[in-house]
Structure 1
Amino acid sequence: MQKIYIEQLEAYSLIGVYDWERENKQRLLFDIEIEADLSIAAQSDNVEDTLNYAQIASAVIHAAEQSKFKLIESLANYLIDSILEQFPSISVVKLKLSKPDILANAKNVAVEFCKGQVG
């Protein structure tokens, strides 16, 4: 199994439990690790034989921007389920969702979820 990484993907979302968090979209960062069989693409050098990581990134950004979740845990879980559903050739997805601007005395707050079936 091979991996594709999408790192520090940025999106803005209405996320949070406090009233002030529900007024303006907040910056979120996503680190996504995808396990899939990329061996055919490695041999063929044909884009049609691999995962389109631009489509994956676009799907994550779109879902985050449309989200009304209160918890980053809920959004992360939803995103992983969506990725696995939309891209069935993916075996495993690990997603770290960071909310970097939420605590004044911390650089970042994040959750990490992993789902799928190891081939």
Structure 2
Amino acid sequence: MGKIYITGLEVDTLIGVYDWERVQTTQLLLDITLDVDLRAAMQSDDVADTVDYAKVAECIVEVGKVSTFELLEAFGSRVMDVVLENFAVASITVKIVKPNILPNAKTVAVEMSKEQV
């Protein structure tokens, strides 16, 4: 096994509980950790034998484009479900950072994980 990391992925989405948050998209920053069997790719040097992280990132950005969740937790759950459904990963951890949402804090973040069932 091994890990693939995608850090600081910029995802624009409509998210938030308050009315003022629902009038325009917010840019979230996502850190993704994928648990992946990398043994075949280590031997073959072929992208077909691993998880294409560019496609994972593209998939997550697309989830953001069509999402209208209120909570980061719900958005994160959807991101994890889509990745687990579409890519050969054993588990995923997502940290979602929402910048400049509190007047006295630079960011708020949640982190969650799911495993393949």
Give the TM interval when normalised to the shorter protein: over 0.9
Please give the alpha-carbon distance, in whole angstroms, between the structure 2 residues aligned to 1:97 and 1:2. 22
Could you tell me how far 1:47 is from its partner in structure 2? 1.3
**Letter of the aligned partner of 1:101 in structure 2?**
N
**Where does the alignment leave 5 or more consecutive residues of structure 1 unmatched?**
none
Paired residue for 2:115? 116
Matched, 1:52 2:52: yes
Letter in 2 for 1:61: V
For the 8 Å contact 2:84–2:116, the answer to whether it is kept is no
Contact persistence 1:11–1:28 (CA under 8 A)? yes
The offset of 1:112, in angstroms, is 0.7
Q: CA deviation at 1:117?
A: 4.8
> 2:42 is matched with which residue?
42
Q: State whether structure 2 residue 75 is matched by structure 1 residue 68.
A: no
Shift of 1:101: 2.0
**Long gaps (5+) in structure 2:** none
Structure 2 CA distance for aligned equivalents of residues 96 and 3 of structure 1: 15
Provide the residue aligned with 1:17 in structure 2.
17
Which structure shows the higher strand fraction? 2
How many matched pairs? Answer: 117
Q: Deviations over 1:55-112 (max 9, x none)?
A: 100010110121110111100011101110111x200100001101211211111111
**Which ranges of 4 or more aligned residues in structure 1 deviate by more than 2 Å?**
none
- Asked whether the equivalents of residues 27 and 101 of structure 1 are also in contact (C-alpha less than 8 Å), the reply is no
Q: Secondary structure at the match of 1:24?
A: coil
SS class of match (1:109)? strand
Number of the residue aligned with 2:81: 81
Identity of aligned residues (%): 47
TM-score by length of 2: 0.96
